[in-house]
Amino acid sequence: MALLGSRALDIEVNTADFCLILGYLCSPGRIGLIEAQIPEEKAFMFEREFPDEEYYPITQGETTGGYSMKRSHQLRIYFNNINNCPSVLLPFLGEGNTSYVRRINKGKFVEKIVRDYGFHFGEYQNVAAIRAIVSRLHPANLTDFDRGYNL
């Protein structure tokens, strides 16, 4: 069951480029954080879909500027660096913040790689486990994963 609705955005590329991107994300020091910000009243949905995964609760109410707080799930990948970033990934990178140079805001993509490819919310990623899943699901594209990892 998907956590995000039909309006959530994905990174739609062919399988070879998808595996290249996964390898790139796994490269040491690349990802600073895979973050889930979840509205407090929807936390049960996140916990059901991603048991034992980290998330930050979003308190309901208004910001100091009088705006409503976020009301939907926010899934992001923050980058420590984007050195040698594959050109296929560049259009999907948004601005970072004071701690990270860039980020991916495509929630459906983040949901997919955590749910189906062994990534985890938080800072630590088990590269060997992710690579094994890619090898099982896309054996013809393991070289693409490795190429992305080595960029």
Q: Looking at residue 138, what is its pLDDT?
A: 98
> Does residue 9 belong to any structural domain of this protein?
no
Q: Indicate the DSSP class of residue 108.
A: H
Contacts of 13 (CB under 8 A, 6+ apart): 21, 88
Q: How many residues does the chain have?
A: 151
pLDDT tens readout for residues 86-145: 999 999 999 988 899 999 999 999 999 999 999 999 999 999 999 999 999 999 999 999
Domain that holds residue 109: 15-149
Contacts of 35 (CB under 8 A, 6+ apart): 56, 74, 75, 76, 77, 78, 121
Distance (Å, rounded) from C-alpha 8 to C-alpha 73? 10
Number of compact structural domains in the chain: 1
> Does residue 44 belong to any structural domain of this protein?
yes
pTM comes to 0.90
> Does residue 1 belong to any structural domain of this protein?
no
